[in-house]
Amino acid sequence: DNEQSAAVHRPILPKINKNVVKIGRPGYKVTKVRDPQSKQFGLLFEITYPEVTDETKPRHRFMAAYEQRVEVPNSQYQYLLFAAEPYETVAFKVQSREVDMRPGRFWSHWDKDTRRFTLQFFFRNLARSNTDREATGANSVPVQPRFNPLNPYITSS
């Protein structure tokens, strides 16, 4: 009886076709950005997938230098991977610094019409992250996220 209930409650995973013939690398553009208010350094990635199907949504992930097997691992770097069938997975070697994951600091967008995947992130400033850690006491005032002028997909409220 437990086996039947376990079979009913299993999550439905998307079917991944491992036998897809890769058609090459997608087009890409990488832009260095700096927030004028916080002086945070960031990167904007625009990856173009013109032959991707309507059901496919590109994926991304950060990978530590020790996970990859192409180069000798170097703790100074990490890799940002982008993948969408039927294209080859592309990886970008970036500094191994803490990524600021707060709202407005890290965002991605998939435009189905132009078939362009856009991802932007900022690295945490060392001085900024130290003050954020100090302001976590019971008497601290929560810091509201600022409007990001470099992010066209977030509107100020």
Which pLDDT band holds residue 33 (cuts at 50, 70, 90)? very high
Cα dihedral sign, 148-150-155-156? positive
Give 3-state DSSP helix, strand, coil % of the chain, rounded to 5: 10, 30, 55
- Computed over every residue of the chain, the mean pLDDT equals 80
Which pLDDT band holds residue 50 (cuts at 50, 70, 90)? very high
The two structure tokens encoding residue 143: 């810091």
Average pLDDT for 60-74 = 91
> 118 burial class (0-12, 13-18, 19+ CB within 10 angstroms)?
buried
pLDDT exceeds cutoff 80 at 16: no
Phi and psi at 80, nearest 5°, equal: -110, 120
Tens digit of each residue's pLDDT (9 = 90 or more) over 88-144 = 999 999 999 999 999 889 999 999 999 999 999 999 987 644 444 444 445 545 555
DSSP assignment of 31-71:
EEEE-TTT--EEEEEEEE-TT--TT---EEEEEETTT-SSS
Greatest mean pLDDT among 16-20, 62-66, 129-133: 62-66
Distance CA 99, CA 45 (A): 15
Q: What is the 3-state secondary structure (H, E, C) of 128-139?
A: HHHHHHHCCCCC
pLDDT exceeds cutoff 90 at 63: yes
> Which of 82 and 125 is assigned the larger pLDDT?
82
List C-alpha distances in Å: 70 to 29, 31, 152.
Answer: 22, 25, 35
